[in-house]
Structure 1
Amino acid sequence: MTATRSRRFAGRRRSAFAGAAAALLAMGALSACSSEEERAEEAVEEALADLEELGETTAGGAAGEDGAEQEIFAAGETAVFDNGVEYTVSAAEPYSPSEWAVGHTEGNEPQVVSLTVTNNGAETYDTSFILTTARIGEDGVEAELIIDDPVGLGPGGSVAPGQSATADYAFDIPAGEPSFSLTVEELLEFGATWDLTL
């Protein structure tokens, strides 16, 4: 099975926002250095309008791509991405936080999963930008990530081609919840979602 949140789309999004931001900075400089205040104000307004239009286009594009391509995985299944990186999420198991843990509320029932990152690509993969988000219920309320060293800290470092790294993540799930979803993604690049039954 594969998951493909487009890297090309993410790249276009970053470039477009960067361009718009640069335009705003340039207009600010023009305003400060030129006596043509009216011209500067018009240029800034135009740049702001471009930003607003960009935001609408980005939101629509993201929804379209994700809706068409992103799969929901089950525990133990692997999401394979275009760069050769693979994410595998284990089944959730009950977790007992230590007394030093952060993110647990008394009465909730923490669950822990293992994330395995496998690099079948040609380049070293930096795991520093991996983000995890657990959500519960129909409204998708976010569950607290529990930090309980080393749980919740991620794989850390880089994964060389042909190698794997595994890290545990625990989430503070309210008592009685039958399942939760877990999204694992690399910041601004790609990701996949697992539906985990308890």
Structure 2
Amino acid sequence: MITVYGGNNSRATRNVWVLEELGLPYEQKSVNFTNGENKTPAFLAINPSGKVPALTDSDGNVALSESFAINLYLAQRYGTGKLWPADPASQARCLQWSMWAATEVEGPVVGLIVEKFFKPEAFRNAETAKKFEEHFIPSLKRIDADLAGKDWLVGNSFTIADLQCACVINGLNMLRYDFTPYPNLAHWLKACLARPAQQKVDAMPRA
């Protein structure tokens, strides 16, 4: 049995999206940070960092943390021919895009969201927000150019590369970000978010 630790207001939704894409049975458990459940010996045995998401898979006695690493495990273990391509070059491109999303895009995107959405208005700084946006604009230009003339990032079908990148870039929709300058990116992101598995995840209660 696969168990995902983390509620639907966390990055665990990335892992749930993969599980829904693959049609795998799973259990999802919220972790109560308020009462210190994340610091109990039982949870620290799964993720010594005491954070979510985390995943256990009784088929192989696997315990993992970090949302992207969990997704890559699920794709490779259960998604060959679906989310995970068969040829080494395409597999490497899936890793490339996953690392790109994690290292080049997620940091400044999250920074902008915090600055413009989560911070009280009195503490927001327009100059700080501008710097975050300037940092990720080259990345948006890059993926927009890469998607010219094609539907998906790797090969002719939706893969883990698309899912990982869409998870990060979709955060900008919290800010009603204008993707007009990036038409290929906008078309691709809309297609990713319209997938039945993602629609199911999006409809889940954010408790």
Question: What is the TM-score of this pair, normalised by structure 1?
Answer: 0.27
Structure number with bigger Rg: 1
Identify the structure with the greater strand proportion. Answer: 1
Higher relative helix content:
2
